[in-house]
């Protein structure tokens, strides 16, 4: 028997190995195999008969039982094809941590009694069920030790599921009734043994109380559920919430590797009803008709750097559509893609009556020579909020790459792509991040002919200095979780949690719950509108709306802006989602941006800029013959790589795969340079 084994990284194809006699091998199994003189972990992607006389044998089995069923294997193949991610990287990034044999034995001896047991007649080849086959290397042997050392050790503790238990904690039952009925919680068909009927469409929960409505819907439905969050912190909160309903396991890195592996097994065997994880849990086997919920579906964190390059939302929708199982998504400000799906009937939206909303003031700063970060209106609001012993958040941005007019508020944009032009102080030039058009710095504003052109922005340090000078007795802290790590981040978070005034970036919102602030002030949100990204308005809208949700109804939101008439800010002031999405979708449709067309970024690199440019030109030539819009190559800031933006239809991934095949595929050999392709990027290069 011959096994085709794929490894992580830019390897062009799987490698063939001999399956040793007596082994039971299967597709999706992780194994150790010799590669370039060392034992490396890969995954079996195919098995077939043939002449194996010249092949090296596999060294050991990393997985001793099946972790993926046929459905999960097919989904992994779809993810790889849709995201242009190598199949080995796709599998290895979405499988649970392998556990050393010693940890398994210790966990088997100390594991607590589970809430439910696998039925006696459950099929033994079900993922996570049945006795493990004999290991490839004997437990405790040097070979087994070397392999598990290469794979990674368990992070301590017994190999048991992380189970949370508590009392009841369900709220707003009536608000979830419509979604609950869609999941089949009431009026199930006769003979359905109490299980829910699948939902006809995914459900998008927006508005106040959306997470409470999701929790109540899951509690009422007669199906197991997997809840996916954007980060570990949110996963911990959801594990506590679901733990009040019954045993809940975690599949994210917030628990030990042994606990994650045991949770994967328990969920696949149907031993627990609730599971919480992040994107790494997308392939976990689920019982039939299990619901999948995605919290904050609009978050870019659902598509973090690294393989596979695909948003968790797309995988959830694909997976639940294949099995006609319920899909539930929550968002304060849905992605434009989800709003479009709802508008054309591909997704059902649940939006309650608007909740109480703080007063929103748009402070017009056009024509004002601002030497202070705080306008009189914002300074007065801070003083009144502190006097009332309430907390203040001042939102700032670390990004300031666009140029704007201080007199009329206009943002200099590309005439072709209608996105902000990126400003290069060194070259005193403007460039488009999409079509690569470059233009010298103008002397006057193209809109009003004013001469006060300047980059947007007030940095956190300047804002902090202004606040300390005016409010010396207040406790003031800066918080930028995206820029700090480790102990410094922990200290910064602790100081911000105790501060009266927090000056922070978008991540600082995590410190505050709903209606916990007295004031949210935006010092210069035009920085967000000026990002060289077609999603700039969407990001600005999401940030300001999220901050407003965290302000008390009798509090205030003050937006200092040179664009007070922009629909992103006006929609927040009116507390009206549709006021943002209607003009935003018109803009996207007219220019051919997602969701109406798909985009991809093809990046070429090499030992020098000339190599990257030459390879980028080959990419443009290879793709130009297809039904794609291909823009000229654009250099990065250090002139080491080139980016080629490609626009196409629903089959963009396949068109790129076919077009780049002659150049070595989306990941070419490093000797010629490197080609990386990302489809549907959520973070645009700045």
Q: Which of 178-187, 216-225, 246-255, 319-328 is predicted with the least confidence, judged by mean pLDDT?
A: 178-187
Q: What pLDDT was estimated at residue 532?
A: 84
pLDDT of residue 407: 80
> What confidence score (pLDDT) does residue 288 get?
86
**Given this model, what pLDDT does residue 10 score?**
78
Confirm if 54 and 271 have CB atoms less than 8 A apart: no
Residue 400 has pLDDT above 90, yes or no: no
Distances in whole angstroms, Cα of residue 547 to Cα of each of 12, 212, 227, 358: 46, 19, 24, 10
Query: Do the domain assignments include residue 205?
Result: yes
Specify whether the CB–CB gap between 44 and 78 falls below 8 A. no
Rounded mean pLDDT of 653-669? Answer: 77
pLDDT band at 367 (very low <50, low <70, confident <90, very high): confident
Q: Residue 61 sits in which domain range?
A: 2-151
Same-domain check for residues 490 and 539: yes
3-state secondary structure of 655: helix
The answer on 392 and 268 residing in a single domain is: no
Average pLDDT, the chain: 83
Mean pLDDT across 595-616: 92
Q: Are 404 and 528 in contact (CB under 8 A)?
A: no
Question: For position 434, what pLDDT does the model report?
Answer: 86
Q: Are 489 and 479 in contact (CB under 8 A)?
A: no
Percent of the chain with pLDDT over 90: 58
Higher pLDDT, 534 or 455: 534
User: 158 in a domain, yes or no?
Assistant: no
| % of the chain at pLDDT higher than 70 | 81
Residue 670's pLDDT band (cuts 50, 70, 90):
very low
Residues 530 and 611 in one domain: no
Q: Same domain, yes or no, for 208 and 269?
A: yes
For the stretch 479-503, pLDDT in tens is 887 666 778 878 888 999 999 999 9
pLDDT band at residue 110 using 50, 70 and 90 as cut-offs: very low
Average pLDDT value for residue range 115-119: 32
The reply to whether 449 falls in a domain is: no
- Give the domain-ending residue among 590, 624, 655: 590
Beta strands 60-61; 30-35: pairing state:
antiparallel
Residue 38 CB coordination number (10 Å): 10
> Residue 252: inside a domain, yes or no?
yes
Task: Indicate whether 623 belongs to any domain.
Answer: yes
Confidence bin at 178 (pLDDT 50/70/90) = very low
Question: Highest mean pLDDT: which of 187-196, 309-318, 418-427, 654-663?
Answer: 309-318
Q: Report, as an integer, the average pLDDT of 40-44.
A: 97
Count CB atoms within 10 A of the CB of residue 416: 12
- The pair of structure tokens assigned to 545 is 């709306």
Closest CA to 126 of 63, 65, 46, 44: 65
Confidence of residue 164 (pLDDT cuts 50, 70, 90): very low
Last residue of a domain, one of 546, 568, 590: 590
- The answer to whether residue 436 sits within a structural domain is no
Number of domains forming the structure of the chain? 4
Answer whether residue 466 is part of any domain. Answer: yes
Same domain, 465 and 556: yes
Give the mean model confidence (pLDDT) for residues 142-156: 41
Q: How far apart are CA 76 and CA 97, in angstroms?
A: 17
Q: Determine the average pLDDT of the residues in 283-301.
A: 95
242 band by pLDDT with thresholds 50, 70 and 90: very high
Q: Which CATH number covers residue 509? A: 3.40.50.300
**Measured distance CA(61)–CA(70) in Å, rounded:** 20
pLDDT in tens, 131-143: 333 334 433 334 4
What lies within 8 Å, CB to CB, of 387 at 6+ separation is none
- Asked if residue 158 has pLDDT above 70, the reply is no
The first and second tokens of residue 237, run together, are: 């909160």
Confidence of residue 398 (pLDDT cuts 50, 70, 90): low
Least confident window among 316-325, 359-368, 392-401:
392-401
Q: Are 662 and 523 in the same domain?
A: no
Higher pLDDT, 295 or 529: 295
Note whether 603 and 567 are same-domain residues: no
Among candidate residues 536, 559, 590, the one where a domain is terminated: 590
Say whether both 380 and 488 belong to one domain: yes
pLDDT at 431 over 70: yes
Say if residue 182 is in the same domain as residue 323.
yes
Q: What are phi and psi of 239, to 5 degrees?
A: -65, -40
Of the candidate ranges 228-232, 335-339, 634-638, the one whose mean pLDDT is the lowest: 634-638
Mean pLDDT of 102-107: 42
- Between 383 and 178, the higher pLDDT residue: 383
Question: Do 39 and 123 have their domain in common?
Answer: yes
Question: Between 31 and 404, whose confidence is greater?
Answer: 31
Residues 534 and 640 in one domain: no
- Residue 51's contacts (CB-CB under 8 Å, 6 or more residues apart) are none
Residue 629 has pLDDT above 80, yes or no: yes
Does residue 433 fall inside a structural domain?
Answer: no
Q: What is the pLDDT of residue 633?
A: 93
Residue 109 has pLDDT above 60, yes or no: no
| pLDDT exceeds cutoff 70 at 28 | yes
Task: Give me the mean pLDDT over the 188-211 stretch.
Answer: 64
- The answer to whether residue 166 scores a pLDDT higher than 80 is no
- Residue 10 CB contacts under 8 Å (≥ 6 apart), including other chains: 86, 667, 668, 670, 674
Distance CA 292, CA 286 (A): 9
pLDDT digits (tens, 9 = 90+) for 50-91: 999 999 999 999 999 999 999 999 999 999 999 999 999 999
377 and 508 fall within a common domain? yes
Residue 231 confidence (pLDDT): 93
- For the residues 402-426, what does the mean pLDDT come to? 82
């Amino acid at each position: 028997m011959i096994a085709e084994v794929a490894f992580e990284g830019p390897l062009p194809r799987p490698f063939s190995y001999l399956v040793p006699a007596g082994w039971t091998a299967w597709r999706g199994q992780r194994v150790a195999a010799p590669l370039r003189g060392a034992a490396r972990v890969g995954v079996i992607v195919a098995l077939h008969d043939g002449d194996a006389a010249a092949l090296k044998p596999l060294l050991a089995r990393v997985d001793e039982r099946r972790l993926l069923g046929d459905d999960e294997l097919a989904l992994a193949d779809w993810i790889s094809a849709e995201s242009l991610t190598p199949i080995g990287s796709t599998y290895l990034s979405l499988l649970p941590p392998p556990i050393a044999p010693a940890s398994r034995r210790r966990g088997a001896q100390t594991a607590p009694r589970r809430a439910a047991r696998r039925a006696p007649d459950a099929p033994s080849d079900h993922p996570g069920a049945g006795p493990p086959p004999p290991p490839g290397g004997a437990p405790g042997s040097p070979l087994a030790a070397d392999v598990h050392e290469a794979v990674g050790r368990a992070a301590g503790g017994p190999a048991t599921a992380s189970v949370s238990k508590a009392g009841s904690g369900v709220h707003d039952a009536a608000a979830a009734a419509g979604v609950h009925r869609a999941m089949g919680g009431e009026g199930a068909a006769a003979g359905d043994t109490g299980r829910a009927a699948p939902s006809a469409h995914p459900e998008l929960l927006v508005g106040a109380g959306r997470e409470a409505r999701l929790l109540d819907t899951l509690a009422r439905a007669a199906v197991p559920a997997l809840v996916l969050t954007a980060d570990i912190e949110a996963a911990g909160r959801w594990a506590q919430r679901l733990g009040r309903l019954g045993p809940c396991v975690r599949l994210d890195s917030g628990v030990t590797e042994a606990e994650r592996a045991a949770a994967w097994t328990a969920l696949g065997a149907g031993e627990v009803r609730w599971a919480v994880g992040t994107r790494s849990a997308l392939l976990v086997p689920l019982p039939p008709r299990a619901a999948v919920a995605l919290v904050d579906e609009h978050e870019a964190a659902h598509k973090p750097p690294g393989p596979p390059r695909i948003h968790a939302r797309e995988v959830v929708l694909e997976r639940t559509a294949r099995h006609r199982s319920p899909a539930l998504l929550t968002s304060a400000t849905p992605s434009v893609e989800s709003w479009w799906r709802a508008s054309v009937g591909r997704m059902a939206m649940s939006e309650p009556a608007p909740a109480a909303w703080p007063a929103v003031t748009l402070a017009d700063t056009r024509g004002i020579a601002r030497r202070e970060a705080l306008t009189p209106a914002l300074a007065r609001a801070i003083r009144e909020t502190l006097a009332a012993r309430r907390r203040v958040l001042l939102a700032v941005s670390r990004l300031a790459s666009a140029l704007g007019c201080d007199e009329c508020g206009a943002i200099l944009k590309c005439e072709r792509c209608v996105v902000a032009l990126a400003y290069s102080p060194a070259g005193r030039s403007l460039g488009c991040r999409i079509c690569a058009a470059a233009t010298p710095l103008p002397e006057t504003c193209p809109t009003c002919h004013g001469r006060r052109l300047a980059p947007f922005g007030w940095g956190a340090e300047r804002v902090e200095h202004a606040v300390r000078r005016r409010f010396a007795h207040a406790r003031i802290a800066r918080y930028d979780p995206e820029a700090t790590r480790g102990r410094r981040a922990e200290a910064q978070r602790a100081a911000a949690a105790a501060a009266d005034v927090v000056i922070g970036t978008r991540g600082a919102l995590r410190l505050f719950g709903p209606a916990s602030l007295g004031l949210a002030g935006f010092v210069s949100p035009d920085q967000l509108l000026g990002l060289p990204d077609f999603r700039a308005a969407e990001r600005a809208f999401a940030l300001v709306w999220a901050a407003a949700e965290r302000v008390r109804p009798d509090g205030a939101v003050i937006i200092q802006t040179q664009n007070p008439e922009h629909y992103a800010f006006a929609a927040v002031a009116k507390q009206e989602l549709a006021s943002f999405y209607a003009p935003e979708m018109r803009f996207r449709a007219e220019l051919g941006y997602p969701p109406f067309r798909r985009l991809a970024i093809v990046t070429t690199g090499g030992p020098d800029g000339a190599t990257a440019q030459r390879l980028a030109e080959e990419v443009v030539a290879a793709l130009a013959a297809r039904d794609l819009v291909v823009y000229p190559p654009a250099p990065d800031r250090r002139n080491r790589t080139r980016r080629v933006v490609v626009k196409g239809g629903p089959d963009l991934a396949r068109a790129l795969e076919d077009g780049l095949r002659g150049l070595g595929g989306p990941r070419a050999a490093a000797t010629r340079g490197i080609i990386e392709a990302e489809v549907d990027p959520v973070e645009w290069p700045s």
